[in-house]
């Protein structure tokens, strides 16, 4: 008998729940029967054994892994079976005990059974009449079953030499790894396809459309709302080497054309180097400045309409993207910077453009709706489609509307293979201050005034809970006078101003 506790046990438990057999650092797909578990194959995964060893606990551990005999003569290792012991420890306490959130979930369930998946997420059993035939494919999370379409899809890709070999991932460990992004959601894909160029995307999308196979695009996977996960097919841009990493800087740095595999911060460094090499006076950067700019990629920045603390709404992706190169589901490629490509698209997709014009005309005919949309998008908004495109351009310019609709569409309307930004100035001189206020209402009023006057490039609010995190820090107490006695309702603003020189900051 071997015992594993802590995170190692959780990892092994998750893999076992997903249909894996684990033993001595090996993982194998498994099938179950009423009385036994049969292993069919195994492949060494030394990291798993190391994880288990690193988290090994004494004999008093509350969870254990018991080896049991396998009925399969072809098994290389015996499977391990998890069973909780009578002893308990703080590291393995049932999270549902004395958990008010779980109690609330049970209360809201209205008598329906709560089910926990392999990573602890809760779901409700269907209501009466909403039962689902688990052998029938439905394009809904959790119901995209393999009814033959996925096998046929991958077969077509390999047969036509589009994506094959080690760029098609289907093993349970790596699909489990791609089952989450920076959010707290999880959907494990059936396949992960690592595409290397636009042509591969152009060729695979029509096949996916023909076979009704949903695909989701993924760049860096830093999204916080689950945009980059799916339980269908995940199309991951392979950004190694030169794949999706092309760029071109023009007009003294005022324009930059980049492919989706470049990281946002990397593009800004390329612009800084361009200024240095060409001995230019002014330096530029891309408008969006999300907190994850050193990790997120251009594909996600555009597809999620990224903004950031400093860029606000005026310099987000929507307002700074000049042109896009797009791949549509039928394999058509549109480059909005190329007049010939635009003319060809207008000829082949005239009906689509007419519908876009009609939709814009219908929206703009309703003044109340126009006012509502403008008000909504005057503040940060990355949820849903950029429907402000329907009011920002006249109906007789459908190409401009279509281009703007693509920004923030999360890859549901087209794949972005190239984007041109109008860059914004990166001022060399910056100044910041941390201002305390007696209450949050006064802090918000000050933030409104600063925005109204346009004198600050960034303003961040700290509420009382935030201040409490560092009010006992000696360095902060020296920097911020009055922090240790600011009162229970206090708040603060961190304000940044920037300009071309010190004189501008002194105004």
- pLDDT number for residue 57: 40
**For residues 157 and 149, what is the distance between their CA atoms, to the nearest angstrom?**
12
pLDDT tens digits, residue range 155-179? 999 999 999 999 999 999 999 999 9
Please, are residues 219 and 297 in contact by the beta-carbon 8 Å criterion?
Answer: yes
- Split at pLDDT 50, 70, 90, the class of 97 is confident
Q: Is the model's pLDDT at 448 over the cut of 70?
A: yes
Which of the four pLDDT bands, split at 50, 70 and 90, describes residue 50? Answer: very low
* 159 Cβ contact partners less than 8 Å away, ≥ 6 residues apart: none
Answer whether 149-237 and 247-425 agree in fold. no
Structure tokens at 333: 């490629």
Confidence band of 117 (pLDDT split at 50, 70, 90):
low
Between CA 20 and CA 42 the distance in angstroms is 10
Residue ranges of E strands in 127-214? 168-169, 191-195
What's the rounded Cα separation, in Å, for the pair 157 and 167?
Answer: 11
For residue 137, CA distances in Å to 178, 185, 481 come to 22, 22, 63
In the chain, where are the structural domains located?
149-237, 247-425, 430-506
The beta-strand segments (E) located in 226-320 are 233-237, 247-250, 255-258, 284-285
Strand, coil or helix: 162: coil
What are the φ and ψ backbone dihedral angles of 351, each rounded to 5 degrees? -65, -40
In sequence order, the 6+-apart residues with CB closer than 8 A to the CB of 451 are 459
Task: Give the model confidence (pLDDT) of 451-478 as tens digits.
Answer: 888 888 888 899 999 998 888 888 888 8
Q: How many CA atoms lie within 13 A of 432 on its CB side?
A: 12
pLDDT of residue 476: 86
- Predicted confidence at residue 89, as pLDDT, reads 47
pLDDT, tens digit, 9 for 90 and up, residues 282-337: 999 999 999 899 999 999 999 999 988 776 788 899 999 999 999 999 999 999 99
Range from 15-29, 204-218, 243-257 carrying the lowest mean pLDDT = 15-29
Tell me the two tokens of residue 123: 């779901």
Global pTM reads: 0.75
What Å distances lie between residue 256 and 198, 259, 271, 322, 419, CA to CA?
19, 10, 8, 10, 8
Look at residue 1 and tell me whether its pLDDT is greater than 90: no
Please, are residues 172 and 18 in contact by the beta-carbon 8 Å criterion? Answer: yes
Across the chain, mean pLDDT equals 82
Between 208 and 121, where is the model more confident?
208
Q: Is CATH 3.30.43.10 what the domain over 149-237 is classified as, yes or no?
A: yes
Residues 373-427 have pLDDT tens digits of 999 998 887 778 999 999 999 999 999 999 999 999 999 999 999 999 999 999 8
Rounded to whole angstroms, what are the CA distances from 320 to 380, 386, 422? 15, 14, 5
Task: Tell me how far apart the alpha carbons of residues 270 and 259 are, in angstroms, rounded to a whole number.
Answer: 13
Sequence-ordered list of residues with C-beta below 8 angstroms from that of 107, at least 6 positions apart, any chain = none
Note the pLDDT of residue 105: 79
Of 41 and 447, which is predicted with more confidence? 447
Q: What share of residues in the chain are helix, strand, coil (percent, to 5)?
A: 35, 20, 45
DSSP states along 25-91: TEEEEEEE-SS-EEE---EE-HHHHHHHHHT---TT-SEEEEE---S-TT-SS--EEEEE-S---GG
pLDDT of residue 210: 98
Question: Binning pLDDT at 50, 70 and 90, where does residue 92 land?
Answer: low
For residue 120, what pLDDT is reported?
Answer: 61
The predicted pLDDT at position 249 comes to: 98
Q: How confident is the model at residue 86 (pLDDT cuts 50, 70, 90)?
A: very low
Architecture (CATH level 2) of domain 247-425: 2-Layer Sandwich (3.30)
Gap between the terminal Cα atoms of the chain: 74
Q: What is the pLDDT of residue 121?
A: 64
């Amino acid at each position: 008998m071997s015992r594993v506790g802590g995170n190692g046990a959780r990892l092994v438990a998750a893999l076992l729940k997903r249909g894996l057999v684990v033993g001595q650092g090996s993982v194998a797909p498994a099938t179950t029967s009423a009385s036994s578990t049969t292993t069919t194959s195994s492949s060494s995964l030394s990291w798993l054994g190391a994880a288990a060893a690193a988290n090994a606990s004494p004999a008093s551990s509350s969870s254990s892994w018991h080896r049991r005999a396998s009925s399969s003569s072809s098994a290389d290792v015996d499977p391990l079976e998890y069973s909780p012991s009578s002893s308990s420890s703080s590291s393995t306490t049932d999270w549902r005990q004395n958990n008010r959130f779980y109690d609330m979930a049970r209360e809201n369930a209205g008598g329906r059974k709560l089910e926990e998946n392999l990573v602890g997420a809760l779901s409700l059993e269907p209501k009466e009449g909403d039962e689902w035939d688990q052998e029938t494919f439905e394009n809904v999370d959790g119901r995209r079953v393999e009814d033959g379409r996925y096998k046929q899809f991958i077969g077509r890709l390999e047969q036509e030499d589009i994506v094959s070999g080690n760029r098609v991932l289907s093993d349970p460990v790596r699909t489990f790894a791609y089952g989450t992004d920076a959010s707290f959601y999880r959907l494990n894909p059936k396949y992960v396809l690592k595409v290397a160029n636009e042509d591969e995307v152009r060729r695979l999308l029509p096949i996916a459309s023909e076979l009704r196979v949903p695909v989701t695009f993924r760049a860096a996977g830093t999204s916080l709302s689950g945009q980059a996960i799916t339980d269908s097919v995940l199309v991951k841009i392979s950004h190694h080497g030169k794949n999706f990493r092309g760029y071109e800087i023009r007009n003294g740095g005022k324009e930059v054309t980049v492919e989706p595999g470049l990281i946002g911060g990397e593009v800004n460094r390329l612009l800084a180097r361009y200024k240095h090499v060409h001995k230019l006076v002014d330096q530029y950067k891309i408008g969006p400045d999300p907190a994850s700019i050193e990790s997120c990629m251009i594909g996600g920045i555009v597809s999620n309409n990224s903004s950031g603390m400093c860029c606000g709404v005026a310099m987000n992706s929507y307002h700074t993207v000049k042109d896009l190169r797009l791949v549509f589901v039928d394999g058509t490629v549109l480059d909005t910077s190329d007049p010939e490509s635009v003319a060809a698209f207008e000829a082949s997709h005239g009906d689509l453009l007419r519908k876009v014009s009609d939709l814009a005309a219908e929206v703009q005919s309703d003044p109340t709706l126009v006012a509502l949309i403008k008000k909504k998008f005057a503040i940060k908004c990355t949820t849903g489609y950029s429907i402000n495109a329907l009011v920002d351009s006249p109906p007789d310019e459908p190409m401009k509307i279509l281009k703007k609709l693509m920004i923030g569409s999360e890859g549901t309307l087209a794949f972005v293979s190239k984007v041109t930004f109008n860059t914004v100035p990166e001022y060399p001189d910056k100044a910041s201050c941390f201002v305390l206020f007696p209450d949050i209402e006064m802090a918000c009023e000050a933030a409104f005034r600063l925005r109204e006057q346009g004198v600050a490039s960034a303003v961040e609010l700290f509420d009382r809970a935030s201040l409490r995190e560092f009010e006992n820090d000696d360095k902060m107490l020296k920097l911020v006078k009055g922090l240790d006695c600011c009162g229970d309702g206090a708040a603060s603003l961190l304000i940044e101003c920037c300009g071309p020189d010190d004189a501008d900051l002194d105004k």
